[in-house]
Amino acid sequence: MSLLIHATEDLGKVLKALQNIFPANYAEKIEVTTRELQGYYKNPITLLETCIKERGGIAVFLKELFQRLEAEDRAVLSSEFGMHVDSKAFLYIRLDKQEAFCNRIKLCFIDPIHIQVKLNYIPRTLEELEANL
């Protein structure tokens, strides 16, 4: 999982948004690494990255994530599912940072929290993935 923090954003609030997308029992366990980057106009940008290493943690994370998605976003993810899974069985989802800060899970494509999950197989539908989790 990764996200960018721009100079105008509050690090504490962005970290809170990141923690809010994890199940409650995982939020305290996540380890976040940071890298300082430079934007196109030489503005400072911080890259935050984290991953779930605990066995079975990905399934728990995805189940809760899908359950917390609003009906509209579930429908979008379901209808566009093929665009979110690549030929190497990686699932890609982008979530809204502002909504995550408010403890809501919403899809977003502008300045999102990037989620990349390596799956054991290539699912054809969201329903198939959920059934196999």
Q: Name the residue with higher pLDDT: 34 or 25.
A: 34
Ordered by where they begin, the domains of the chain are 2-132 (3.30.1440.10)
pLDDT class of 116 with cuts at 50, 70, 90: very high
Partnered with residue 47 across adjacent β-strands are 4, 35
What is the model's pTM?
0.87
Rg (CA), the chain: 15
**pLDDT digits 0-9 by tens, 39-97:** 888 999 999 998 887 778 888 899 999 999 999 999 999 999 999 999 999 999 999 99
Partnered with residue 68 across adjacent β-strands are none
